[in-house]
Amino acid sequence: MNTTKAAGLTRREKYEAQQRRRSLIVAATSTVVVVACIIIFIPMTPGWEKVQRSFFNGDVLADTFPKLLDAFKINLMIFAWSAPAIAILGLLIALARDAKSPALFPLRIFGATFTDVFRGVPVILTVYLIGFGIPGLGLPRPWNSPYIWGSLALILTYAAYVAEIFRSGIDSVHQSQRSAALSLGLSERQVMRDVVLPQAIRNVVPSQMNMLIALQKDVSLLSFIGPVEIFRQAGVFKSLTANFTPYVGAAIIFLIVTIPATRYADYLMAKQMRDRS
- Check binding of 271 to another protein (CB under 8 A): no
CA dist., res. 129 & res. 109, Å (int): 23
Q: Least distance from C-beta 80 to another protein, angstroms?
A: 28
> Is 268 an interacting residue with respect to another protein (CB under 8 A)?
no
Shortest separation between residue 200's beta carbon and another protein, angstroms? 10
Query: Who contacts 143 (Cβ-Cβ below 8 Å, separation ≥6)?
Result: 135
- Binding flag, residue 113, another protein (CB under 8 A): no
In whole angstroms, how close is the CB of 274 to another protein at the nearest point? 12
- Cα(273)–Cα(269) distance, rounded to whole angstroms? 6
Query: What string of H, E and C letters represents the secondary structure of 82-151?
Result: HHHHHHHHHHHHHHHHCCCCHHHHHHHHHHHHHHHHHHHCCHHHHHHHHHHHCHHHCCCCCCCCHHHHHH
Nearest approach in angstroms of CB 273 to another protein is 15
**Closest-CA residue to 75 (of 229, 222, 228, 212):** 229
For position 180 contacting another protein by CB under 8 A, the verdict is yes
Our finding on whether 176 is near another protein (CB under 8 A) is yes
185 binds another protein (CB under 8 A): yes
Query: Is 116 a residue that touches another protein (CB under 8 A)?
Result: no
Does 192 help bind another protein (rule: CB under 8 A)? no
SS3 of 242, please? coil
Contact with another protein (CB under 8 A): which of 182, 228, 236, 248? Answer: 182
What is the contact surface with another protein in residues (CB under 8 A)?
Answer: 176-177, 179-187, 190, 194-195, 198-199, 202
